[in-house]
Structure 1
Amino acid sequence: MKNYPIILFGLVMLLTGSLACKTDDVTITDTNMETNDSNHIDTTSSQLKIRIGSKKFTATLLNNAMVAAFKARLPMTVSMSELNGNEKLYRFPNNLPTSASNPRNINSGDLMIYGSNTLVLFYQSFPTSYSYTKLGRIDDTAGLAAAVGPGSVTVTFELE
């Protein structure tokens, strides 16, 4: 009988731990943008025009709720600030729907949302431990780093 509280505590902890690990949600991790589930690029995805100074880029957008919310704000011209020598960011005044996951590696040309309101355009590739919701990526990144340059930059996003 002396061990009864210890055994009861152990059972409660085991049950609590089991319930904490249970989930009914299916999370899709976007590690390859060329597959065909709802978080990935497919041939029917929207095309986005991105203008940075005189340089123009085309990005292929994913098909998800975040992209729908993003497209509803287009066209838009924003001032994007520099961060870490590898990305430009713009903070929306309102939150957007997110489905963040860790991509493990960022590629030059990735267009993502950090948190629920920070648009990020990456112009350098690097490994990451942060989570993002992917919007899409620039199809041809030649000249992207030179176009964004150091410091803040004005970027125009519009549907093609």
Structure 2
Amino acid sequence: MSYIKKIALIVILSLVACTAVSGDDSVDNLVKVKINDDVFDVKLENNSATQDLIKELKKGNVTVNASEYGGFEKVGNLGFSLPTNDENVATNPGDIVLYQGDKLSLFYGSHSWSYTKLGKIDNVDSNKLKEVLGSGNVTLEFSLK
């Protein structure tokens, strides 16, 4: 085998090895949330809470009955607890956070408090999100892609 072929083989094997080590986490950090008839992609944070949430989602969809709170979010009980990594977070429309370890909040407005950030709805217009969430209670159904 020529010197150039050996170098090319080493480069190719190195790239394959790097890809195998880094993996493709796009499947593990994307979930869906269904709100009424609208479905949105959610990009999850990388923390212990989202890792445990993914484990729950592998068992089946997670439904949260959320109610209006403060004029800027919908909040509801998860039905189970997740590990917390609370820090002061300034939320924006589309942010999804864990509150007190067992409550999930989906923001259509902004607020600042101590939360564990779970993720954010991808590419959603804040007016559209507010319209979809409506003014009363809403059911949020989370699922794996």
Asked whether the two chains share a fold, i.e. TM above 0.5, the reply is: yes
Which bin holds the TM-score, normalised by the shorter protein? 0.7 to 0.9
| Greater per-residue strand proportion | 2
CA contact (8 A) 1:46 1:159 kept: no
TM superposition score normalised by structure 1? 0.67
Matches within 5 A, 1:120-131: 120-126=105-111, 128=112, 130-131=113-114
Number of positions where the alignment pairs a residue of Structure 1 with one of Structure 2:
116
| Greater per-residue helix proportion | 2
What residue is the counterpart of 2:4 in the other structure? none
Any gaps of 5 or more consecutive residues in structure 2? 1-24
Paired residue for 2:92, among 95, 98, 107? 107
Aligned identity (percent) is 37
Once residues 140 and 80 of structure 2 are traced to their aligned partners in structure 1, the CA distance between those partners, rounded to angstroms, is 19
Residue deviations 1:30-70 (CA, integer Å, cap 9, x gap): xxxxxxxxxxxxx7451111111111111101111100111
Which structure has more relative contact order (CA 8 Å, sep 6+)? It is 2
Any gaps of 5 or more consecutive residues in structure 1? 1-42
CA contact (8 A) 1:49 1:56 kept: yes
Q: Which protein shows a greater Rg?
A: 1
Once residues 149 and 87 of structure 1 are traced to their aligned partners in structure 2, the CA distance between those partners, rounded to angstroms, is 11
Residue deviations 1:63-109 (CA, integer Å, cap 9, x gap): 11100111222212221111011111111333211110002x21100
Residue deviations 1:120-152 (CA, integer Å, cap 9, x gap): 1111124x2x20001110112221110110111
TM superposition score normalised by structure 2? 0.73
Once residues 122 and 131 of structure 1 are traced to their aligned partners in structure 2, the CA distance between those partners, rounded to angstroms, is 14
* Residue 144 (str. 1) matches residue 115 (str. 2): no
Runs of 4+ with deviation above 3 angstroms: none
Paired residue for 1:55, among 13, 35, 38? 38
